[in-house]
């Protein structure tokens, strides 16, 4: 039996047909603005999907090239007057690609079993695929392994080995060189998760904290600040132990079955706690957590539970903007610009809330970017897979940041945080990168 063409399904065709070819999304698209080719615009990519659905083109060649070059930032979705669900279409296209050219045979959350990567021609492509496989299956779903890696990197950074490795960078495969340059200064100040963190003052509710995978292991200070700010606003914070990676990286790589497995594990992990909300502090993770109902809509055991879970998921900015019972009183005299996370802005439509929180800090001056809706080039692991284009997108963002003369760059997503740290090093900008909750946390501390 011939394989099913995922793009040639009635509901997918309905979604494709919503595109009226108006082109209003083109100016919002970072890849189109740099490459200036129709096939690297949302309209062009939708045309490729339609051509594949019709059987006029295969999933290799132009289809693969231009679908892989898409950042998945979903700025086109916000710009589209016709309601095209581009993010959903992209996921379907990437799933079709992954099934046609499996990178990772029998991809499943594992506890140590190994799979081999598929053959690829160039050594750089092999390295990228092996790293992608290792990251998705052997690290991201396993918090302990990630923390071991984080401790190793912490030592590597503190022992000064990085200077030697940087001299070797021109000889390393590009994906390894990019990874080395992008690793932020590892922060190991882990929260004690063995018991709930109590509310400070009168208790207003109990929330569960989705700690994330990379965020949890490498940027522990952001999670610690998140917990303290929730506590200060009267929330008891719980840490369900069996939670795992949200599945965003798997989903963006077209590994939707694997992402569904992770979604089921998270729904089980957060069940039965009678929580006011499931809080996360990374825009990319939150957007995926909120997609669980869609991901599991055909799963008879999990469809209803997924809807209940999604109803509880809140980004920290979204939650605090509505529940800032004790605004910070300490001053933080700083000029700050805010770099939107695409998945928070375009995916979750959380736009004003982080700005409201920042302007609630006494002394803080918020300066808007000229193009706040443009991606920074992080886009999950895009900056590792497409470093050249990602760097061009990043340079545009850095020029915008520089024009604000801000000394602090606020973000609300792990990938953006790391990308901006890398960008600051790359450009020599005199700026510090902080999560919105770290700024709030510092303002609270300044009151004492």
- Phi and psi (nearest 5°) for 205? 165, 175
Q: Is 248 in the site for ligand SF4 (CB under 6 A)?
A: no
Q: Is 128 in the site for ligand SF4 (CB under 6 A)?
A: no
Question: Judged by CB under 6 A, which stretch of 65-73, 160-168, 259-267, 413-421 contacts ligand SF4?
Answer: 65-73
How many angstroms separate the CA atoms of 161 and 163, rounded? 5
Nearest to ligand SF4 of 22, 165 (CB atom): 22
Nearest to ligand SF4 of 19, 384 (CB atom): 19
Q: Is 84 in the site for ligand SF4 (CB under 6 A)?
A: yes
Nearest to ligand SF4 of 98, 278 (CB atom): 98
* The only residue of 16, 49, 75, 316 in contact with ligand SF4, by rule CB under 6 A: 75
Is-contact 53 13, C-beta < 8 A?
A: yes
Nearest to ligand SF4 of 28, 398 (CB atom): 28
Q: Is 86 in the site for ligand SF4 (CB under 6 A)?
A: yes
Q: Is 385 in the site for ligand SF4 (CB under 6 A)?
A: no
> C-beta of 92: minimal distance to ligand SF4 in Å?
14
How many residues bind ligand SF4 (CB under 6 A)? The answer is: 27
* The only residue of 15, 74, 129, 142 in contact with ligand SF4, by rule CB under 6 A: 74
Residues 21-40 close enough to bind ligand SF4 by CB under 6 A: 21-25, 28-31
What is the Cβ-side half-sphere exposure of residue 29, based on CA atoms within 13 angstroms? 25
Is-contact 442 419, C-beta < 8 A?
A: no
Among 107, 102, 131, smallest CA distance to 119 is for: 102
> C-beta of 235: minimal distance to ligand SF4 in Å?
34
Residues 6+ apart with CB under 8 A from 54: 8
How many angstroms separate the CA atoms of 234 and 372, rounded? 32
Nearest to ligand SF4 of 278, 393 (CB atom): 393
Among 251, 286, 243, 281, smallest CA distance to 141 is for: 243
How many angstroms separate the CA atoms of 82 and 157, rounded? 49
Question: Judged by CB under 6 A, which stretch of 73-81, 202-210, 229-237, 243-251 contacts ligand SF4?
Answer: 73-81
> C-beta of 279: minimal distance to ligand SF4 in Å?
26
Residue 299 in 3-state DSSP? coil
Place of tokens 């059987």: 55
> C-beta of 9: minimal distance to ligand SF4 in Å?
19
Q: Is 72 in the site for ligand SF4 (CB under 6 A)?
A: yes
Question: Judged by CB under 6 A, which stretch of 1-9, 64-72, 96-104, 107-115 contacts ligand SF4?
Answer: 64-72
**Sign, Cα dihedral of 58, 63, 65, 71:** negative
Tokens (6 digits) for 45? 């990519």
> C-beta of 255: minimal distance to ligand SF4 in Å?
18
Is-contact 444 328, C-beta < 8 A?
A: yes
* The only residue of 47, 71, 263, 316 in contact with ligand SF4, by rule CB under 6 A: 71
* The only residue of 7, 12, 15, 43 in contact with ligand SF4, by rule CB under 6 A: 43
Identify the bridge partners of residue 364 per DSSP, sorted by sequence position.
334
> C-beta of 74: minimal distance to ligand SF4 in Å?
5
Query: SS3 letters for 90-133?
Result: HHHHHHHHHHHCCCCCCCCCCCCCCCCCCCCCCHHHHHHHHHHH
Residue 363 in 3-state DSSP? coil
Q: How far is CA 79 from CA 70, 86, 303, 439, in A?
A: 16, 11, 30, 30
Q: Which residues of 324-346 are buried (b: 16+ CB within 10 A; e: fewer)?
A: beeebebebebebbbbbbbbbbb
> C-beta of 395: minimal distance to ligand SF4 in Å?
16
Residue 358 in 3-state DSSP? helix
Nearest to ligand SF4 of 80, 197 (CB atom): 80
Q: Is 45 in the site for ligand SF4 (CB under 6 A)?
A: yes
Chain contacts with ligand SF4 (rule: CB under 6 A): 19-25, 28-31, 42-43, 45-46, 70-76, 79-80, 82, 84, 86
């Amino acid at each position: 039996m011939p394989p099913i063409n995922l793009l040639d399904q009635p509901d997918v065709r309905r979604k494709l047909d919503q595109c009226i070819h108006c082109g209003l999304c083109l100016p919002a698209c970072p890849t189109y603005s740099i490459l200036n080719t129709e096939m690297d615009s949302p309209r062009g990519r939708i045309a490729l999907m339609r051509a594949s659905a019709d059987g006029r083109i295969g999933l290799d060649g132009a289809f693969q090239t231009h679908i892989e070059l898409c950042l998945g930032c979903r700025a086109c979705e916000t710009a589209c007057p016709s309601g095209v669900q581009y993010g959903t279409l992209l996921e379907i296209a990437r799933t079709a690609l992954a099934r046609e050219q499996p990178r990772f045979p029998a991809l499943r959350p594992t506890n140590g079993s190994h799979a081999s990567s598929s053959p690829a021609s160039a050594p750089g492509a092999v390295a990228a695929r092996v790293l992608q496989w290792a990251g998705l299956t052997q690290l991201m779903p396993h918090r302990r392994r990630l923390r071991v890696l984080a401790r190793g990197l912490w030592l590597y950074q503190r022992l000064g080995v990085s200077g030697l490795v940087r001299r070797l960078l021109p000889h390393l495969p590009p994906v390894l060189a990019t990874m080395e340059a992008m690793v932020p200064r590892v922060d190991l100040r882990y929260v004690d998760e063995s018991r709930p963190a109590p509310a400070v003052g009168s208790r207003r509710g109990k929330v569960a904290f989705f700690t994330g995978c990379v965020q949890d292991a490498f940027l522990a200070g952001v999670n610690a600040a998140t917990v303290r700010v929730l506590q200060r606003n009267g929330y008891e914070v719980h840490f369900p132990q069996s939670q795992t990676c949200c599945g965003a990286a798997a989903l963006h790589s077209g590994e939707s079955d694997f992402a569904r497995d992770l979604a089921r594990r998270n729904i089980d992990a957060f069940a039965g706690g009678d929580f006011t909300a499931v809080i996360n502090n990374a825009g990319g993770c939150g957007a995926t957590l909120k997609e669980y109902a869609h991901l599991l809509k055909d799963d008879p055991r999990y469809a209803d539970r997924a809807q209940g879970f999604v109803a509880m998921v809140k980004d920290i900015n979204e939650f605090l903007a509505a529940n800032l019972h004790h605004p910070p009183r300490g001053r933080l005299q700083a000029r700050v610009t805010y770099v939107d996370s695409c998945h928070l802005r375009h995916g979750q439509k959380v736009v004003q809330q982080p700005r409201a929180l920042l302007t609630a800090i006494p002394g803080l001056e918020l300066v808007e970017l000229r193009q706040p809706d443009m991606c920074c080039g992080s886009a999950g692991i895009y900056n590792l897979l497409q470093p050249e284009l990602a760097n061009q997108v990043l340079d545009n963002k850095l020029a915008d940041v520089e024009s604000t003369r801000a000394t602090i760059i606020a973000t609300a997503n792990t990938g953006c945080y790391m990308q901006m740290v890398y960008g600051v090093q790359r450009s020599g900008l005199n700026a510090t990168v902080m999560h919105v909750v770290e700024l709030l946390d510092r303002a609270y501390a300044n009151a004492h």
